[in-house]
Structure 1
Amino acid sequence: MANYFAPGVYVEEVPPLARPIAGVGTSTAAFIGEADRLAAADVGKPKKFTNWSEFSAFIKGAGATPTTPIYTTANRTLALAVFGFFANGGTTCYVVPIAAGGMGNLQAPLDTLKPIDDISIVAAPGAQGTATKVQLMDHCFELQDRVAVLDGEKSPASDSTPDDIYGGPMPGGGPTTPDKFSFGAIYFPWLKVFNPLYTEGGAEPELLDVPPSGYVAGIWARVDATRGVFKAPANEGVVGIVDLERPMDKNKQISLNPPGINVIRPFGGSPTVYGARTLGGDRNGEYRYLNVRRFMNFLKESIDQGTQFVVFEPNTPALWQRIIRSVSDFLYNQWRDGALFGATPKDAFFVKCDAETNPASTREAGQVITEIGVAVTKPAEFVIFRIQQNTGA
């Protein structure tokens, strides 16, 4: 308490009753892929990049000169994925380069990504088969703050059979199955781009088939920046490609959409991401839509980081009111931005932290419990117009 001796007006700063919660970032990606020419110290370790120039200088390897080519046959898949990420709106990514032949087991590189808290998107461009897809989803399910972008198989036996595109039996089970499949989203088909190693008369083809995950991760980041993480990253054009590895139409998508395979389709010649489901689709219940999964990750992480001030505070009704105020203000902003459904904030969310959620036994255990309910908006996936003809009277 300050001492006051002379009459007058004194202006002092006091701590706010509630601290604002800032939304965490949702568009930082991490890529795992094969690379050559790198120093041993750079292999298997994540490195951060904020633009294509930084990454292209790195991927050239130690001792590179301005004339050193960016691409090699070994690093091409990874490098083109990162290029597609930045070309489609990505701004920040981590890259874990691994040695050739290391895409069959991603556990070691995935472990290096665990301590990096700002990652929210994970991909291993070109990884095929169910084993690597499951490793990516297990990683995201364990950390609960990121989602995996998965590539469909490059040359499936059928382009309308989910098991063939997934690389094995599609996720099954029911409510008792751990819901790790909602932490992954798979895209098909592969994309065609200009081959950076093509030379006229050479052995390399002019066009190259590349996995979609890097380009899709950039689209996620772009939609997050322009609309928000609550907006489904679909009905969005893919920038920086020539064509699709194969044409896809509505008839083929009919069998792929319910189990959660997101199709990229040509509309008027412009390839467009035309799906926004998590892997498993309908079996994931409330989390069958990708934007719901990612938005809930965003909410949990933001509230977690924004309420750290509560730890070790006296567990009293005054603290409960501070928690309610902080969380409610944050959710009100989400409702105002269009992320929560309801005509009023009361319809869109509730925050309960009182004597009922915190009885004496809970307080004695050193716990303060807050219950939060939100009504997350769902995408208008099926737009139906019913038209009838009325004759004039």
Structure 2
Amino acid sequence: MVESNIKTPGVYINELDAFPNSVVPVATAVPAFIGYTPQAQYEGKSYTNIPQKVTSFAEFQSIYCLPDPAPPADPAKQYSPQYYLVAQKSKPTNQDYLMIDGAYYSLVPDPNTIYYLYNSVKMFYQNGGGDAYIVSVGGYGAPSGKPIDSGAQIVNPNVQLSDLTNGLALLKNEEEPTMYLCPEATLLPVDQNGTLMQEMLLQCTEMQTAISIFDIIGGRNPDPIMFMDDITTFRNNTGSQGLDYGTAYYPFVGTTIMQSQDVDYTNLFGGDVKQLEPLLNPADNPNQSAATIISMIENPGSNPLTVTQYNNSLLNASKTYSQIMKHVLNDVNIMPPSGSMAGVMATTDNEEGVWQAPANTSIVGVSSLPIRLSETQQAGLNVDAVSGKSVNAIRFFNGLGILVWGARTLDGNSQDWRYLSVRRTVTFLEQSCKQAAHPYVFQPNVKNTWEAVKAMIGSFLTSIWKEGGLQGATAADAFSVDCGLGSTMTSEDILNGFMKVTVKVAVVRPAEFIVITFQQEMATSS
């Protein structure tokens, strides 16, 4: 209250701030999922190409999932990939197959029906995720009505590079997301996948608020001998910009995210049950029960059963059908790991802190791997002398199960930004201090303001040091904050309106290689 403004006799109260401004830590595990959803509307409003924050899977379902029909109808299918059984002349190699009446069949999908975002969001929340942004770039496209060639890489023509890059660009106006994910990026052709990854890294560099989590083409069905070719292709396509803002995980993971009730005969042959009959009711080994159920599905009559009821009847009537659906379920559950890793990072941040490496931990809902990497095989992923682009492995260990066994960014040859936890910690500190400094814009550029800013940032960094996020025996060893004329600014800086603050931090790094030295010594008398 300015005293010169007081004109009327009376008692006046001045309230003074007793405490300075403080730094509020920003969120560290807010992924932005970019991709295709079952739908994108809520209460008549379209959410296509609109970054929308959700706080739970239920909220995601309300906007991006199809509504369930009224009972007794089955719940709506949010994801319904199509599979075909293709007869083979000999035993297939390096792909999913099964034997029916002594003949080999490959189980191959219709590539136009394969999508990953819905189940990736599910895996994120199953692994402890919280807030997330969804950028739906459209709904599912039409199926092709035919399978891919056996052993071929899945490329979905309905997944368009332009859709994903446009969705990515929409996030330039959102500072809260700290991770960019495109689960369907591996469904692009290799060259387009490389373009998308480079765009993501470039935007991360510009924004300085988020990292990109990448999946690797070929990780779904890797060749046990030549899998390094896929890693080499990935490294060749990620460019050289913003590598410290990117991280990659290999291979894909076998999950339990979809259950037996989520797949049925409508996922086979485009829903044409006529093509099932020769497999379930062969002439040399007839199964009249299966034939009757198939006939009822084709000619439902006036009082038909639900799809679930027909499906359960087929499972009980035919072991062959049960075998087929088991293989379909296993294939549907092979997922890119990026969504799971976003959830792992969220849990690690909440329990330990962003400075804790999201490694040496299991992934909830992961039960198998398409390839079990050995230490020797991982060596080529973790360290690459030529490109320096490290790839984090997900490995199986006897007695421990499946663990995340890598904690590096793509900038594996950099001493500054080699580790993912270092990159994410520094981003966390930078953005927290940046947001806290906003109230001081346009304040007098004088010593009082400099000291207030130094005290505010110093108090924040002290609390981080006490939590274990910075290393040092004392706070002075862990960080320093400077701001003032003659130390960080010149007289010209002040005239030009610049207030410069220099912050130095000693960030903790993971103990990636633990070396224990043993040495024998002579026995001594007591």
Same fold, TM-score > 0.5, yes or no:
yes
How far apart, in 2, do the equivalents of 1:166 and 1:210 lie? 21
Aligned runs of 1:37-116 on 2, under 5 Å?
37-38=39-40, 41-61=46-66, 67-73=75-81, 74=113, 76-99=115-138, 100=141, 101-105=158-162, 106-116=164-174
2:428 corresponds to 1:298: yes
Alignment-mate amino acid for residue 461 of structure 2: L
Aligned residue number for residue 136 of structure 1: 200
CA contact (8 A) 2:80 2:263 kept: no
How far apart, in 1, do the equivalents of 2:225 and 2:205 lie? 28
Instruction: State the Cα deviation string for residues 96-118 of structure 1 (Å, max 9, x = none).
Output: 22234234342100112222221
Shift of 1:229: 0.6
2:475 corresponds to 1:317: no
Residue number among 457, 462, 466 corresponding to 1:327 in the alignment: 457
SS in structure 2 at match of 1:286: coil
How far apart, in 2, do the equivalents of 1:231 and 1:327 lie? 22
Shift of 1:212: 0.3
Aligned runs of 1:204-243 on 2, under 5 Å?
205-208=328-331, 209-243=334-368
How far apart, in 2, do the equivalents of 1:255 and 1:221 lie? 28
How far apart, in 2, do the equivalents of 1:38 and 1:2 lie? 54
2:454 corresponds to 1:390: no
How far apart, in 2, do the equivalents of 1:126 and 1:288 lie? 27
Shift of 1:17: 6.1
Alignment-mate amino acid for residue 144 of structure 1: Q
Aligned residue number for residue 149 of structure 2: none
CA contact (8 A) 2:37 2:65 kept: no
Shift of 1:320: 0.9
Residue number among 26, 33, 36 corresponding to 1:34 in the alignment: 36
How far apart, in 1, do the equivalents of 2:33 and 2:167 lie? 10
Aligned runs of 1:162-177 on 2, under 5 Å?
164-165=230-231, 167-170=233-236
SS in structure 1 at match of 2:116: helix
How far apart, in 1, do the equivalents of 2:502 and 2:204 lie? 24
Question: Structure 1 length as normaliser, TM-score?
Answer: 0.89
Residue number among 193, 197, 214 corresponding to 1:150 in the alignment: 214
Aligned residue number for residue 382 of structure 2: 257
Shift of 1:321: 0.7
How far apart, in 1, do the equivalents of 2:523 and 2:70 lie? 77
How far apart, in 1, do the equivalents of 2:430 and 2:232 lie? 29
CA contact (8 A) 2:20 2:452 kept: yes
Shift of 1:138: 1.7
Residue number among 242, 249, 273 corresponding to 1:187 in the alignment: 249
SS in structure 2 at match of 1:167: helix
Instruction: State the Cα deviation string for residues 9-34 of structure 1 (Å, max 9, x = none).
Output: x9974224631101100111111122
SS in structure 2 at match of 1:271: strand
CA contact (8 A) 2:482 2:501 kept: yes
Shift of 1:62: 5.7
Distance 1:288 1:245, change over 3 A: same
Alignment-mate amino acid for residue 231 of structure 2: I
What's the Cα RMSD here?
2.6
How far apart, in 2, do the equivalents of 1:275 and 1:160 lie? 21
Alignment-mate amino acid for residue 72 of structure 1: S
Structure 1: gaps of 5 or more residues = 4-9
Alignment-mate amino acid for residue 207 of structure 1: N
Aligned residue number for residue 7 of structure 1: none
CA contact (8 A) 1:261 1:277 kept: yes
CA contact (8 A) 1:56 1:70 kept: no
Report how many residues are paired: 382
Aligned residue number for residue 22 of structure 2: 20
Distance 1:354 1:59, change over 3 A: closer
* Percent identity over paired residues: 30
How far apart, in 2, do the equivalents of 1:75 and 1:14 lie? 61
SS in structure 2 at match of 1:145: coil
Bigger CA drift: 208-217 or 266-275? 266-275
Distance 1:13 1:230, change over 3 A: farther
SS in structure 1 at match of 2:442: coil
CA contact (8 A) 2:31 2:177 kept: yes
Shift of 1:172: 8.9
CA contact (8 A) 2:198 2:238 kept: no
Aligned residue number for residue 182 of structure 2: 124
How far apart, in 2, do the equivalents of 1:47 and 1:225 lie? 23
Structure 2: gaps of 5 or more residues = 4-11, 82-112, 142-157, 187-192, 265-314, 316-320, 384-388
Shift of 1:150: 0.5
How far apart, in 2, do the equivalents of 1:30 and 1:160 lie? 33
CA contact (8 A) 2:479 2:504 kept: yes
How far apart, in 1, do the equivalents of 2:133 and 2:231 lie? 27
Aligned residue number for residue 300 of structure 2: none
Instruction: State the Cα deviation string for residues 70-92 of structure 1 (Å, max 9, x = none).
Output: 32224751111011100111011
Which of these two proteins has the greater Rg computed from alpha carbons? 2
How far apart, in 2, do the equivalents of 1:135 and 1:348 lie? 35
How far apart, in 2, do the equivalents of 1:216 and 1:329 lie? 32
